[in-house]
């Protein structure tokens, strides 16, 4: 068997503030170069202040990294796990500097985004290369393939939906994902992958009623984004209850805790629609095992490339036309993906 060419794993995530003083600098990082009105930034800042300025995303990524490193240590391949963020500490250049100092030469990156789009795929790859350009002797970093249809992602999601349905067995299931501009959706497989993932989870749960909707829309009203919006959808549901399943998110961070647990729940209370919110996959053991399986695909020839359904299995290397920059300027929302 050939020697493992990689000597570390890098988890690449969005990052989030951990105290009140972090909120505005964090949002300024997110919005750098974006045409988002300052009023929108201040509005989102209030959501963070509702939680004392602390997003749980960093803690949840640290939990995922610790679980993955422990699994790799016990079952192999034994590799150190690092964390590098796009928008808050530990920032990617700082992490790559640390990795270089530790002697890391070649790393595999796990990007905490399950679905293909510019902001969830190519932009992270650009961030990694920009960070490498800042660091002397930076390690080579290659990403692990996309996993939107991997059983290690979809089976834990289905388990969470079943737990929520146990409280509301006759509920309709509404899958949510972050809305993106139509210009961005047009350069990626975002909608296609989301629909396939929802279909598979629905099949695993034996669902007869489900729908895919979008949340956390931002940008000017003149710019079209993916619809329908989750809050509009709720007012049309005729079921006796609803289970909201945030399949587009990997952890229960701010856009889940605020947008769903606060705003969407308020709509459900207003229209007297019983609601349960399914948990995200977080650091579920099967999800952690999935990352190990993706690593094994790259280091051990002949490993199976696991996937559910009949959708495209993502390649190891993104093709040149994958998730291109949208043809118009982005109005990316200040988010916490």
Predicted pLDDT of residue 40 = 82
Predicted pLDDT of residue 4 = 85
Predicted pLDDT of residue 20 = 97
Please give the mean pLDDT across all residues of the chain. 94
In the chain, the domains with their CATH numbers are 8-147+284-299 (3.40.50.1400), 151-277 (3.40.50.1400)
Predicted pLDDT of residue 1 = 45
Predicted pLDDT of residue 220 = 78
Predicted pLDDT of residue 229 = 97
What would the pLDDT profile of 16-32 be if each residue is shown by its tens digit?
999 999 999 999 999 88
What would the pLDDT profile of 232-249 be if each residue is shown by its tens digit?
999 999 899 999 999 999
Q: Which two tokens stand for residue 35?
A: 């045409």
**pLDDT digit of tens for each residue in the chain (337 aa)?**
457 899 999 999 999 999 999 999 999 999 887 777 888 889 999 999 999 999 999 999 999 999 999 999 999 999 999 999 999 999 999 999 999 999 999 999 999 999 999 999 999 999 999 999 999 999 999 999 999 999 999 999 999 999 999 999 999 999 999 999 999 999 999 999 999 999 999 999 999 899 999 999 987 788 899 999 999 999 999 899 999 999 999 999 999 999 999 999 999 999 999 999 999 999 999 999 999 999 999 999 899 999 999 999 999 998 888 898 887 544 454 455 5
């Amino acid at each position: 068997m050939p020697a493992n060419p990689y000597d570390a794993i890098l988890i690449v995530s969005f990052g989030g503030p951990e105290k009140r003083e972090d909120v505005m600098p964090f949002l300024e990082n997110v919005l750098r170069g974006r045409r988002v009105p300052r009023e929108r930034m201040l509005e989102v800042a209030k959501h963070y202040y509702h939680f004392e300025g602390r997003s749980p995303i960093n803690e949840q990524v640290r939990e995922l990294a610790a679980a993955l490193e422990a699994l790799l240590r016990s079952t192999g391949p034994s590799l150190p796990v690092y964390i590098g963020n796009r928008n808050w500490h530990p920032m990617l250049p700082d992490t790559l500097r640390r990795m270089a100092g530790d002697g890391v030469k070649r790393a595999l990156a796990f990007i905490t985004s399950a679905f293909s789009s510019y902001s969830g795929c190519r932009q992270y790859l650009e961030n990694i290369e920009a960070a490498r350009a800042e660091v002397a002797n930076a390690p080579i970093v290659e990403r692990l393939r996309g996993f939107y249809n991997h059983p290690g992602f979809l089976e834990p999601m289905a388990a969470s939906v079943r737990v929520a349905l146990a409280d509301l067995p006759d509920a309709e299931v509404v899958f949510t994902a972050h809305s993106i501009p139509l210009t961005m959706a047009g350069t990626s497989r975002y909608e296609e992958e989301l629909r396939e993932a929802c279909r598979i989870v629905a099949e695993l749960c034996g669902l007869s009623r489900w729908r895919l909707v979008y949340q956390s829309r931002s940008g000017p009203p003149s710019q079209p984004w993916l619809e329908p919006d989750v809050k509009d959808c709720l007012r049309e549901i005729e079921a006796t209850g609803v289970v909201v399943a945030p399949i587009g998110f990997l952890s229960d961070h701010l856009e889940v805790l605020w947008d769903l647990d606060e705003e969407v729940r308020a709509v459900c209370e207003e229209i007297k629609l019983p609601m349960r919110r399914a948990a995200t996959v977080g650091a579920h053991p099967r999800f952690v095992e999935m990352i190990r399986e993706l690593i094994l695909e790259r280091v051990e020839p002949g490993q199976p490339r696991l996937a559910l359904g009949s959708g495209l299995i993502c390649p190891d290397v993104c093709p040149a036309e994958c998730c291109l920059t949208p043809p118009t300027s982005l109005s990316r929302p200040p988010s916490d993906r």
